[in-house]
Amino acid sequence: MSNTATLEINGEKHEFPLVVGTENEIGINIKTLRGVTGGVTTIDPGYKNTGACESGITFLDGEKGILRYRGYSIEDLADKADFLEVAYLLIFGELPSKDQLDKFHSDIKAQSVVDDDVKKIIDAFPKAAHPMGVLSSLTSALTAFNPSSVNVDSEEDMYKTVVKILGKFPVLVAWAMRKKQGLPLNYGSNSLGYVENVLKMMFEKPNEEYVQNPIIVNALDKLLILHADHEQNCSTSTVRIVGSSHAGLFASISSGISALWGPLHGGANQAVLEMLEAIKEDGGDTKKYMGKAKDKEDPFRLMGFGHRVYKNFDPRAKIIKVAADEVLADLGVEDPILDIAKGLEKEALKDDYFVKRKLYPNVDFYSGIIYRAMGIPTEMFTVMFALGRLPGWISQWREMRLRKEPIGRPRQIYTGENYRAFKDIAKR
Ligand code: ACO
């Protein structure tokens, strides 16, 4: 195979080297394109064909339905590892030894107190504020409480920043929910596991002890692992591009949270539940909504179906579907919403429109159902996604800084007015 690609523009040929990844993915390195062609650029709306970086963190093959973190399959990790192990793996590249994991956890715990003044910021938010907005603002506010910038050339500095955000973020997650519910802002307990602590902080009532349910702990752990990274998605690309200006980790993560909020990305899990509720309210006629989804005149889309990259099946959806069935059975939850979800899934999988376009249920189709069974309010679903995605964002930010990537600055093709002489206001 040739290791270059040739591009002919106006009769002139230009050669560009091919970049081959460890899984034999091929990219055309067009770094010199503008220079050798005198300013020709590429245009690729939504970056559907553009690789923004080389990365050694996550591999996914959308056609085959493969997802691996640092070479380990998502199936193995969801089955055999816990969330903190996966976080360590993503960020530092290797599975931790027992000692490394214990140290990592205790360093995170040592950072799990948030400056008390953060509570004043939370107080200033209206109760109706969406917890994603609150979380994004609070994460950005952490910069103000930790003003010294991280020296990325110091391993120790990097490590400290990483454990700091992993320690404080779950507190902000819990507080974003508690603010909405009018519950006092609390702290967890350093004697608990990372995920157990999250649950305690979220659900503990001021007047009764929170009793852990291992089924819920296990399901949440799994959900967080499944969401932990997904290579260059919208929020991760946002974190990398903001960080490429050498903005700090907290500011970069805060912008990732905003990117995740949208219903076409992480907000889909909330949108799925709202859609299922609406179908139920409307009599539960799934066929009617299938029709709406296929009608090009109707803006309605079947939330939780389709994926930019997975055009076969979403391997996370397979794992989570099993977990959803287990959690609902174990908790004895009977939920008409679930019946509607199952009905939609069944119909879509055999419907020509969905089959032709390779639209399969994605991870968000099932995650919302589990969160609901756990008693997590709908508006918190995307916040839970952010909690899971945190290690991915950190590892991608760290990789980008360690590889000394240049500032992200795409080009454009200008399609506006040509030069116009300025018109005085009296003559307009
Ligand atoms: N319902 C109905 N039709 C759909 C859906 C859907 N959920 N998704 C895609 N289509 C159709 C489009 O109308 C289009 O049809 P056409 O070829 O006749 O014009 C075709 O399928 C391709 O759709 P695109 O929007 O071009 O696909 P793209 O890869 O750009 O979008 C996306 C992927 C945004 C996820 C889309 O499938 C969608 O909107 N799904 C619903 C929202 C959702 O579940 N998002 C979560 C994504 S997963 C995550 O962020 C973790």
Q: What is the pLDDT of residues 314-367, one digit of tens each?
A: 899 889 888 888 888 888 877 788 889 888 988 998 999 999 998 988 888 888
Return the residue whose CA atom lies nearest to atom 26 of ligand 1: 308
Could you tell me which residues come within 8 angstroms of residue 93 by beta carbon, excluding any fewer than 6 positions away?
Answer: 56, 70
Is residue 149 scored above 80 in pLDDT? Answer: no
What integer is the mean pLDDT of 282-294? 93
Please tell me the predicted confidence (pLDDT) of residue 338.
Answer: 80
Is residue 191 scored above 80 in pLDDT? Answer: yes
Please tell me the predicted confidence (pLDDT) of residue 328.
Answer: 84
- C-beta separation of 307 from 314 below 8 A: yes
Please tell me the predicted confidence (pLDDT) of residue 363.
Answer: 87
Q: How far is the CA of 305 from the centre of ligand 1 (A)?
A: 7
Please tell me the predicted confidence (pLDDT) of residue 313.
Answer: 81
Q: Can you point out the beta strands (E) in 210-292?
A: none
- Report the 10 Å Cβ neighbour count for 182: 7
- Six-digit token string for 379: 């508006």
- C-beta separation of 307 from 268 below 8 A: no
Return the residue whose CA atom lies nearest to atom 22 of ligand 1: 357
Q: How far is the CA of 264 from the centre of ligand 1 (A)?
A: 8
- Report the 10 Å Cβ neighbour count for 258: 18
Q: Is 265 in the pocket of ligand 1 (CB under 6 A)?
A: yes
Return the residue whose CA atom lies nearest to atom 21 of ligand 1: 357
Q: Reduced to 3 states, what is the DSSP secondary structure of residue 240?
A: helix
Pairing relation of β-strands 26-28 and 12-20?
A: antiparallel
- C-beta separation of 212 from 196 below 8 A: yes
Is residue 254 scored above 80 in pLDDT? Answer: yes
109 band by pLDDT with thresholds 50, 70 and 90: very high
Q: Which of 75-84, 175-184, 358-367 has the lowest mean pLDDT?
A: 358-367
Is residue 148 scored above 80 in pLDDT? Answer: no
Is residue 147 scored above 80 in pLDDT? Answer: no
Tell me if residue 246 is catalytic. no
Is residue 234 scored above 80 in pLDDT? Answer: yes
Q: Specify the ligand 1 atom closest to the Cα of 293.
A: 2
168 band by pLDDT with thresholds 50, 70 and 90: very high
Q: Considering the chain, what percentage of its residues have pLDDT values greater than 90? A: 80
What integer is the mean pLDDT of 141-155? 86
Please tell me the predicted confidence (pLDDT) of residue 90.
Answer: 98
Distance CA 290, CA 363 (A): 19
Q: Is 199 in the pocket of ligand 1 (CB under 6 A)?
A: no
Q: Is 389 in the pocket of ligand 1 (CB under 6 A)?
A: no
Sheet order of strands, 26-28 included: 4-9, 12-20, 26-28
Please tell me the predicted confidence (pLDDT) of residue 335.
Answer: 79
Please tell me the predicted confidence (pLDDT) of residue 414.
Answer: 97
Please tell me the predicted confidence (pLDDT) of residue 282.
Answer: 94
Is residue 43 scored above 90 in pLDDT? Answer: yes
- C-beta separation of 406 from 244 below 8 A: yes
312 band by pLDDT with thresholds 50, 70 and 90: confident
User: Mean pLDDT over all residues of the chain?
Assistant: 93
Is residue 44 scored above 80 in pLDDT? Answer: yes
Is residue 1 scored above 80 in pLDDT? Answer: no
Q: Is the dihedral of CA 270, 273, 279, 282 positive or negative?
A: negative
What integer is the mean pLDDT of 84-106? 98
Active-site position among 105, 230, 307, 314: 307
Q: How far is the CA of 397 from the centre of ligand 1 (A)?
A: 28
Distance CA 250, CA 104 (A): 19
423 band by pLDDT with thresholds 50, 70 and 90: very high
Residues in the chain: 428
Tell me if residue 364 is catalytic. yes
Q: What is the DSSP code (8-state) at residue 190?
A: T
Please tell me the predicted confidence (pLDDT) of residue 198.
Answer: 97
DSSP notation for 310-348? -SS--HHHHHHHHHHHHHHHHHT---HHHHHHHHHHHHH
Return the residue whose CA atom lies nearest to atom 38 of ligand 1: 306
- Burial (CB < 10 A; 0-12, 13-18, 19+), residue 184, is exposed
Distance CA 275, CA 345 (A): 13
What integer is the mean pLDDT of 199-208? 96
Q: Which of 116-120, 156-160, 251-255, 362-366 has the lowest mean pLDDT?
A: 362-366
Vertex 317: Cα angle to 341 and 165 (nearest 5): 115
Is residue 270 scored above 90 in pLDDT? Answer: no
Distance CA 95, CA 27 (A): 29
Element (H, E) at 27: strand 26-28
3-class DSSP string for 341-383: HHHHHHHHHHCHHHHHCCCCECHHHHHHHHHHHHCCCHHHHHH
